[in-house]
A = this chain, B = another copy of it.
Amino acid sequence: MIIVLKKDVNQADLQFLVEKLESYGFKTHIYENEGKTVIGLVGDESVLRDKPLSSFPGVEKVVPVFKPFKLVSSEFKKEESVLNIKGIKIGGRHSVVMAGPCSVENRDMLFDVASRVYASGARILRGGAFKPRTSPYAFQGLGEEGLKYLRQAADQFGMLVITELMDPRDIELVGKYADIIQIGARNMQNFRLLKEVGKSGIPCMLKRGLCATIKEFLMAAEYIASEGNYNVILCERGIRSFDSETRNLLDLSAVPVIKGMCHLPVVVDPSHGTGRRDCILPMAQAAIAAGADGLMIEVHPKPSEAMSDGDQSITPDEFDILMKRVKIIAATVEKHIEE
C-alpha cells in the first residue's frame, strides 16, 4: 500500500497516521516531493483492506501495490491453466465450443440440437433448466426434468453438460446432472452461491456481471478458488453500456487483459454479449481472433419459436458455418478447437 498525503499535511496528522500503521504491524517508508508526503508500507497489505485509511485526516489517496486476488492471479501461477474436465481440455492452446438452446424446452428439441452442434464440433452441451428471468411472469425453466434431458442428450453424443445454478439449495440436484456448473452474470456477486460451488469442487464457469470490473470478476473467481476449487472457467458475456443498439456490449479486450492478470481460461458468449443474431457470427470470429479459450453459443432449430432468447439464437446451419470459420481463425492465432 502507498499512501499519498494532502499537500502541506500537518505534522500531528502525519504522526497519528504513522503510529496507526505501525500498530497494524507495518514498517513505513516516507519521502516528500514538492510539499507532498508519500508513505510506502512494508508488511502484509491484505491486513489493510478493511481499514478506512482514505478517511484519515490528511490522507489524499491510498494506492494498493498488490492485487486484491491471489490464487487466480498470474503472480501466483505464471503459466496458463489448462483444465481437463472429463477429457476435454480448456485453456492454453485448447479452445472449446459450448452450444445448445437457451432453455431446455423439451426432449426432442434438445436431442435435435445436440446432434447437430456435436456434428459441427461442439463438445459441451448448454441448456437452461432453471432460468433467471427479469420478469416474474416469464417461463422459468423445466427444472429437474430439463436436467435429465441434458444429461441424456450429452451422454448419447459423448458431450459434457453445462447448466446454470441459481440457488445454493439446488447444488446437489444440479451437481447430479451437470459436468460444469454455470454461475450467471446476475449471480456473479452472490457470494453464498460462489462459496457453495467452491466447496462442491465441481468444475464451474463464472460469467462476468453486467457491470463488473475485471478486478471484481477475478475477485469473484477468487471466492470459488479460496474454497479449494480451481476448476474455474471465466466467461465474458457483455457489459452494460450507454448505447442500446446491442443488448450488452461485448468486451473482447477483456480476453487479453484477463490473460495478463490471471491464469484461468477465458471463453466468450457472443449470444448474450450482443443479444442480436446478426452479430453472433462476426463476434464469435472476433473472440477467437482475440485469443479466447472457447465460445458459448445459443443454437435453436427454430429461433422464432424459442421460449426464451430467440432473438439471440442461431440455427444449426448457421452454427455449422460459424464452426468452420472459427477453426481456421483459431489456427491463425495458434490455438486449436477441441473436438
Q: Which residues of A contact B (CB under 8 A)?
A: 2, 4, 7, 20, 29, 31-34, 36, 38, 40-46, 49-52, 54-56, 63, 65-66, 68-69, 75, 132-139, 166-169, 186-187, 189-192, 195, 210-211, 213-216, 219, 222-223, 226, 239-246, 249-253, 255-257, 260, 273-274, 276-279, 282-283, 285-291, 303-304, 306-313, 325, 328-329, 332-333
CA gap between A251 and B241 in the complex, in Å: 10
Select from chain B the residue with minimum beta-carbon distance to A281. B256
Q: Across the interface, do A282 and B278 meet the contact criterion of CB distance under 8 Å?
A: no
Number of this chain's copies in the complex: 4
CA gap between A36 and B132 in the complex, in Å: 30
> Smallest CB–CB gap between A155 and chain B, Å?
29
Known A167-B192, A332-B325; contact A304-B52, beta-carbon cutoff 8 A = yes
CA gap between A32 and B138 in the complex, in Å: 25
Q: Across the interface, do A219 and B286 meet the contact criterion of CB distance under 8 Å?
A: no
**Residues of chain B lying within 8 A (CB to CB) of residue A246:** 253, 257
CA gap between A69 and B49 in the complex, in Å: 30
Select from chain B the residue with minimum beta-carbon distance to A41. B33
Q: Across the interface, do B244 and A253 meet the contact criterion of CB distance under 8 Å?
A: no
Most chain B CB atoms below 10 A, which of A216, A253, A291, A311: A253
Select from chain B the residue with minimum beta-carbon distance to A132. B191
Q: Across the interface, do A31 and B34 meet the contact criterion of CB distance under 8 Å?
A: no
**Residues of chain B lying within 8 A (CB to CB) of residue A139:** 50
> Smallest CB–CB gap between A298 and chain B, Å?
11
CA gap between A167 and B241 in the complex, in Å: 29
**What are 28 inter-chain pairs, A to B, with CB distance below 8 A?**
A4-B63, A20-B304, A29-B31, A31-B40, A31-B42, A40-B40, A52-B303, A52-B309, A55-B277, A55-B311, A63-B63, A135-B222, A137-B226, A186-B189, A186-B191, A211-B211, A213-B243, A239-B241, A249-B251, A250-B253, A252-B252, A253-B276, A253-B279, A253-B283, A255-B282, A282-B291, A325-B332, A329-B329
**Residues of chain B lying within 8 A (CB to CB) of residue A240:** 211, 240, 242
Pick from B136, B166, B287, B310: contact of A226, CB below 8 A: B136
**Residues of chain B lying within 8 A (CB to CB) of residue A169:** 168-169
**Residues of chain B lying within 8 A (CB to CB) of residue A189:** 132, 134, 186
Q: Across the interface, do A283 and B252 meet the contact criterion of CB distance under 8 Å?
A: yes
Q: Across the interface, do A252 and B250 meet the contact criterion of CB distance under 8 Å?
A: yes
